[in-house]
Amino acid sequence: MNVGAQQPFEQIVDQFIELYCETGPGLSIQDDRLFQKFREFWKLATGNANHPALLGQFRVTLTQLGYRSSEGKWPLWYGITLRELGLRPLSQAIQTQPVRLYTYQ
């Protein structure tokens, strides 16, 4: 990975959370719903770069950022949910919220 041209995965997740999520006590969201929106964001932010373990890396990064989840194939994430903005198609949302384009390989 060319560190000069590429951004760490965590920065992409951070930007997704900043733009499309609310965080705090009492919030929760199903993993599949959160990941579906993250995958859309990933495609826009990276120019549809291929990542061999996108779901797994997303889950690991959320855990590293301090979010907790239930057990199971599609866990429930605690302390995070999608904003109303995040419910619109991301291609519409970026018209008002610019997305930094990342190169990721």
Evaluate whether residue 49 is within a structural domain. Answer: yes
**pLDDT per residue over 24-80, tens digit each?**
999 999 999 999 999 999 998 888 888 989 999 999 999 999 999 999 888 999 999
Sign of CA dihedral 2, 64, 82, 77: positive
Contact partners, residue 83, CB within 8 Å, separation at least 6: 20, 21, 22
For the entire predicted model, the pTM comes to 0.75
Evaluate whether residue 100 is within a structural domain. Answer: no
User: In the chain, how many domains are there?
Assistant: 1
| 52 against 94, higher pLDDT | 52
At residue 69, φ and ψ (nearest 5 deg) are -140, 165
Going by C-alpha positions, the residue among 6, 27, 15 that lies closest to residue 58 is 15
The CATH number for 66's domain is 1.10.10.10
